[in-house]
A and B are shown apart, each in its own frame.
Chain A
Amino acid sequence: MSSPKTTTTCLPASTHKAELPENALVLPPTRQLQSLLTIIRDEKTHRGDFVFTSDRIIRLLVEEGLNHLPVVDKKVTTPTGKVYDGVAFQGRICGVSIMRAGEAMEAGLRDCCRSVRIGKDEETYQPKLFYAKLPEDIANRYVLLLDPMLATGGSCIKAIEVLLEHGVEEEKILFLNLIASPEGIQKVCKRFPKLRIITAWVDEGLDSNSYIVPGLGDFGDR
């Protein structure tokens, strides 16, 4: 069945902030990732560059997230006639974006997964479900939940509750996120200990308006 070991380049989120839970992971803080974040945080960055650069980070996140899916051993024959011991992907996936900022991440997901089903989940400042359009067979799939910013964690928790109501298993949910606040991570991980969060960066904290600082402003608007 599924290969026992998961090789990942992710690091535990506690490399950023010491006291964070184990099921929160961050991308390795390479110079390049830092320069990408610098571009999207800069208020002078134009929309085109912002979209392009965040797509790059999202691709890195998705590639990382996919590493947590199971694989099975598979032998194939190469064009040179040799046998190669490889692996095949197993388990079907479904991307769910939390509207509206999460929709911006769909392009990056499609770059990495060919036939991914994408459902939608609406949220507002006060986490209240407006709209949910999810594939019928979502209960059998792994779910990549997309939301670029994890601030208070309210909307994220609401979205996960909706997924669980639709029969998705908690350990089959991967939450992909660009910038997270330590508070948000704490809250989500505490509530759903079997879920995994993969984030590109953990920021300082939240300001009085529940914005992440230093953050990057409103992702959906930009």
Chain B
Amino acid sequence: MSGHNADHLHPSSRPKLQTRKSSRSKNMVMASHGRAPWYGPDGKNVEAYVIGIAGGSASGKTSVARAILSALNYVPTVLILSQDSFYRALQPEEVKQAFNNDYDFDHPNSIDTPLFVKCLMDLKQGKATEIPVYSFEHHRRMPEKKYIYGASVIIVEGIMALQSPELRSLYDLKVFVNCDSDLMLARRIKRDVKERGRDVEGILDQYLRFVKNSYDNFVQPSSRYADVIVPGSSNQLAIELLVTHVKRQLDTRSLRFRRMLAESGEEKAKARSRSSTLVNGETEDKPNVVLLEQTNQLLGIMTILRDRTTEREEFIFHADRLSTIVVEKALTLVHCQPKTVKTPLGLDYEGLASDDTLVGISILRSGGPFSHGLRRVIRDVPIGALLIQSDPKTGEPLLLKSDLPGSIKCRETSSDVKVLLLDSQMGTGAAAMMAIRVLLDHGIKATNIIFLTYLITESAIHSVHRAFPEVQIVTAAIDPELSEMRIPYDPSSLQLGESLGEADFATKTISHPNMNQSANDVGEKPDPRDGLKTEQELSSNQFKIEVKDTDQLKFSRQHRRDHSGGEKRAWVISPGMGHIGDRYYIS
């Protein structure tokens, strides 16, 4: 459901918002199962679309936000960011006041605006960020933070959402929810009694002392910055208009984006035909590409791996052996510091030691074989994973799951981390670019990324280095070209997960007119719960996502049986070594 196409809207795939809502936060993430490229061929991010929603307390901001969220269910990831997370850390004196209900939480000063702006700016630029967690029970900021990454639409809601000019400059659309004061008060009493177990007296006291003042002095006046004012009740029509506008905006963006990708695709095709005619001399001395010495042993290993008659056991043995050699080669690029040690004979030895924090990230599934080699070389290296596969409908890579070590998720440490990015082959470079973009979004320096692979094509080097010239590539072989192949396949025999190809294998379903339905099925095939799991890990139990499975999927499974067979088109590395992940893990 990653297409930017409203046709995908289907009642059964609309997210069911979870009811067990944490009382502490209104933050929420909705994600479908995969994320299409969010960056152009130049590797630069497309900004997320940001909507700011302000309005009085209990005016109905959250329900407006959720209505927009569920109407945008075809967008890969929509995030609702609540201002509640950004309450300033209180001084001891203020904590006391807060416990006595004497602290004014409705004043603009109670919000940590600089941090709010920084987090939102990161998210808008597509970077990963960590938002604070504020506890109303303890009236303090909790030591842990919430990691958020990868939203294409962000909805910011809070009474002060339109207050600061810095925040306002980040919104693409500013909404104010307008509601009668008495209605808001009535809702507030109802909610606070029921959900927060407070008595009416206290609520009214707080209302008169803080809430009313704040609304009249700060909240209500900020409505003049709004692009749209939405009524706080009976607002279906207003929300529909709003959603139509947002959809149009997003469509225009994705159209522009797609055109950009298509243009670069043509360019790539040209590069492809050029590269096949390249003479050897021109391929040499590429900066930042390290090709292993083509020794007899290496050629012998490559011969075994490329041979289609090689048995699986033999394939695994030599794949492991080759990955060990590639990793050892890559480590020669890592910087070392002098270090003096004492030998058992009591003599000083002036040696070298590396003090870099190394992390391996394997691009699943074909990067899997590499992690074994990496473990052989660095025993305790943390290995993360990015599940990137190609969408058979569009041929574009999809980010299905990202599982990153803590040192990368944390922005303070990520700038010093060196990453060994592992994938067994790079055909078009599309999956590699997506993986590199994810790492850069986490604050990792491009100069600290080394890409390790068995096999790469000229055109992949070209596209990756055009966008990210500083990334180093270590490879065992460079194959001249990609060739187009038609692979017969039988849609009815597809197993879960099998439908998506290794991203770098760049498969694309050929849509025969009557295959269309089938092609759509393939896109929906992976269990949407995969996406669910991912996002739960990405965020925390405070963010919830649920994608309703079933009716449509059942229907599609049924439907697929009616088709007897088809073909898919694939760009494969030639001569290449086939589907490395499959040969390593399956057959």
Q: Give A contacts to B, CB under 8 Å.
A: 3, 6-9, 30-35, 37-39, 41-44, 52, 56, 59-60, 63, 66-67, 69-71, 74, 76-80, 82-84, 86-89, 111-112, 114, 207, 211, 213-218, 222
Contacts and interface: CB of A to CB of B under 8 A. Distances in A.
Given A43-B342, A80-B578, A38 B352 contact: yes
A71 B299 contact: yes
A70 B377 CA distance: 27
B578 A35 contact: no
Contacts of A222: 344
Nearest to B314: A114
A7 B309 CA distance: 27
A63 B297 contact: yes
A52 B299 CA distance: 27
Contacts of B440: none
B344 A38 contact: no
B335 A35 contact: no
Contact of B317 (A41, A69, A114, A215): A114
B348 interface: yes
Contact of B328 (A32, A35, A52, A86): A32
B503 interface: no
B333 to A, nearest CB: 9
24 contacts: A7-B293, A7-B295, A9-B295, A31-B336, A32-B332, A35-B353, A38-B351, A42-B343, A43-B343, A59-B328, A67-B296, A76-B308, A78-B306, A80-B483, A83-B575, A84-B306, A86-B303, A88-B303, A111-B321, A112-B321, A213-B343, A214-B348, A214-B349, A217-B344
A41 B341 contact: yes
B320 to A, nearest CB: 8
Nearest to A48: B379
A35 B352 contact: yes
A35 B332 CA distance: 10
A93 to B, nearest CB: 12
Most B C-beta atoms less than 10 A away, residue of A31, A34, A80, A86: A80
A80 B345 contact: no
A79 B377 contact: no
Contact of B296 (A71, A112, A114): A71
A66 B343 CA distance: 30
Given A7-B294, A35-B336, A76 B341 contact: no
B377 A56 contact: yes
Contacts of A7: 293-296
Nearest to B355: A35
Contacts of A84: 302-303, 306-307, 575
B325 to A, nearest CB: 6
B577 interface: yes
A79 B300 contact: no
Nearest to A207: B345
Query: Which 9 residue pairs are nearest across A and B when measured between Cβ atoms?
Result: A79-B578, A86-B303, A38-B351, A217-B344, A82-B575, A42-B341, A76-B307, A31-B336, A34-B352
B303 A60 contact: no
A44 B336 contact: no
Interface in B550-587: 572-579, 583
Given A80-B485, A82-B575, A9 B303 contact: no
Contacts of B317: 114
A8 B296 CA distance: 8
A111 to B, nearest CB: 7
Nearest to A77: B308
Nearest to B339: A38
B46 interface: no
B20 to A, nearest CB: 47
B14 interface: no
Given A56-B377, A63-B297, A76-B308, A41 B351 contact: yes
Contact of B573 (A66, A69, A80): A80
B197 to A, nearest CB: 56
A78 B577 CA distance: 6
Nearest to B325: A63
Nearest to B582: A79
B368 to A, nearest CB: 18
Contacts of B336: 31-32, 34-35
B341 A111 contact: no
Contacts of A89: 297, 300
A52 B308 CA distance: 34
Contacts of A44: 341-342
B341 A86 contact: no
Interface in B206-223: none
A89 to B, nearest CB: 5
A37 B483 contact: no
B331 A87 contact: no
Interface in B302-332: 302-303, 306-309, 314, 317, 321, 324-325, 328, 331-332
Given A32-B334, A37-B351, A41-B349, A71 B576 contact: no
Most B C-beta atoms less than 10 A away, residue of A37, A79, A87: A79
Given A35-B352, A80-B483, A74 B578 contact: no
